[in-house]
């Protein structure tokens, strides 16, 4: 590139490609800082400017953002796990064993997914504590707190439904404990108070509906799998869309007026 003209031409063409992707220049100018956010489909979740205290880790503890990130992390590792796992009582345990001992990086993959799930339960509850302690649930953010509570429950359920999938003793008996509690629901569970009122038996109560049977067997495994991999993640994603949208609509991150 001795020709000074060719250097400029090269720069121009790089710039042209850059602009075709990002729709604005590369230079660090105030204008580009704003365009960086508002002309990017992912980043425009954010406003172009935020109140300074809202960017401080000591204010948000970054816990909402990290919870969201772990959700994405779980989605990716979860999809990879689905390539190897079959929700069939004759295969589930063997598939999980294979992941631990045969599949390349399978052990790391499963460990990541498992510990990520625990981490998400922890971070979401710390996030809730932060939101409480800053009083950020007060008007106008009341409804977003309610969305948050739904997300909290959903996070528990995501983790809980995943617990059965390895089909080992740990998961099996943990879910048994949970399902016995469901069977004790007043009115709706056959072992709960007032079960007779609606004529509940082990074959038609809420526990039966959750397990697809009166014991934890093939239908229960399939139900846990479908809820875990499709149903609950979709609900979680929908709730998060509302949660994030409301943060913006409620005036951005909370703070002193």
Partner 1 sequence: MEISRQKIESVELEDDRVFTWPTLVVKEFLAAIFVTVGLLFYSYFVDAPLREISDPGQAENPAKAPWYFAGLQEQLVYFDPWYAGVVLPSIIVLGLILLPYLDNNPKGNGYFTFKERKFAIPVFVSGYVFWYVLVYIGTALRGPFWTFFWPWEKWTHDFPTPPPLHNLSLPWGIALLVGFYGIGYAIPLFVKRDFFRNMGIIRYALTLGLLLTMIGTVGKMILRLAFNVKYIIETSVINI
Residues 89/167, Cβ–Cβ less than 8 Å: yes
Q: Which stretch binds ligand HEM (CB under 6 A): 26-34, 72-80, 149-157, 218-226?
A: 149-157
Q: Do residues 147 and 243 make contact, with C-beta atoms less than 8 angstroms apart?
A: yes
Count of Cβ atoms closer than 10 Å to residue 33 Cβ: 12
Among partner 1, ligand HEM, none, partner that 194 touches (CB below 5 to 8 angstroms by kind): partner 1
C-alpha span between 44 and 170 (Å, rounded):
43
Helix (H, G, I), strand (E, B) or coil at 209: helix
* CA pair distance 42, 38, nearest whole angstrom: 9
Q: Does position 227 bind ligand HEM by CB under 6 A?
A: no
Contact set for ligand HEM, span 34-93 (CB under 6 A): 60, 63-65, 67-68, 71
With CB under 8 A, what is the number of residues at the site for partner 1?
Answer: 91
DSSP type of residue 54:
G
Can you tell me the distance from the alpha carbon of 23 to that of 17, in angstroms, rounded to the nearest whole number?
10
Residue 158 within binding range of ligand HEM, rule CB under 6 A: no
Do the Cβ atoms of 219 and 164 come closer than 8 Å? no
Residue from 80, 117, 128, 232 touching ligand HEM (CB under 6 A): that is 128
Among 22, 24, 75, 97, binds partner 1 (CB under 8 A): 97
Judged by CB under 8 A, the stretch of 8-16, 79-87, 140-148, 238-246 that binds partner 1 is 140-148
Q: Determine contact, residues 242/249, Cβ cutoff 8 Å.
A: no
Report the site for partner 1 in 49-68 (rule: CB under 8 A): 49-55, 57, 62, 65-66
CA distance 239 to 236: 5
Q: Does 201 bind partner 1 (CB under 8 A)?
A: no
Distance CA 88, CA 93 (A): 9
Closest contact distance (angstroms) between CB of 171 and partner 1 is 7
Q: Is residue 100 a contact residue for ligand HEM (CB under 6 A)?
A: no
From the list partner 1, ligand HEM, none, pick the one residue 167 interacts with, judged by a Cβ distance below 5 to 8 Å according to partner type.
partner 1
Residue ranges in contact with ligand HEM by CB under 6 A: 60, 63-65, 67-68, 71, 124, 127-128, 131, 134, 136-137, 141, 144-145, 148-149, 151-152, 155, 240, 243, 247, 253-254
């Amino acid at each position: 590139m001795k020709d000074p003209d060719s250097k400029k031409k090269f720069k121009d063409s790089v710039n042209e490609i850059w602009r075709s992707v990002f729709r604005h220049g590369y230079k660090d100018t105030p204008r580009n800082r704003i365009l960086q956010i508002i002309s990017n489909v992912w980043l425009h979740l954010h406003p172009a400017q935020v109140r300074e205290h809202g960017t401080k880790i000591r204010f948000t503890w970054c816990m909402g953002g990290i919870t969201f990130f772990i959700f994405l992390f779980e989605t990716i590792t979860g999809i990879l796990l689905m390539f190897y796992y079959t929700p069939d009582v004759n295969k589930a345990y063997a598939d999980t064993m294979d992941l631990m001992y045969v599949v390349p990086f399978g052990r790391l993959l499963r460990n990541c997914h498992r510990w990520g799930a625990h981490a998400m339960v922890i971070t979401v509850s710390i996030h809730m504590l932060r939101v409480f302690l800053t009083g950020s649930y007060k008007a106008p953010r009341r409804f977003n707190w309610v969305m948050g509570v739904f997300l909290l429950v959903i996070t528990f359920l995501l983790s809980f439904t995943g617990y059965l999938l390895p089909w080992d003793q740990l998961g099996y008996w943990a879910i048994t404990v949970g399902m016995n509690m469901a069977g004790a629901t007043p009115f709706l569970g056959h072992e709960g108070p007032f079960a007779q009122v609606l004529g509940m038996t082990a074959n038609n109560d809420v526990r039966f509906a959750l397990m697809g049977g009166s014991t934890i067997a093939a239908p229960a495994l399939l139900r846990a799998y479908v809820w875990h991999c499709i149903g609950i993640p979709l609900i979680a994603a929908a709730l998060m869309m509302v949660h994030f949208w409301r943060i913006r609509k409620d005036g951005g991150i909370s703070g002193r007026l």
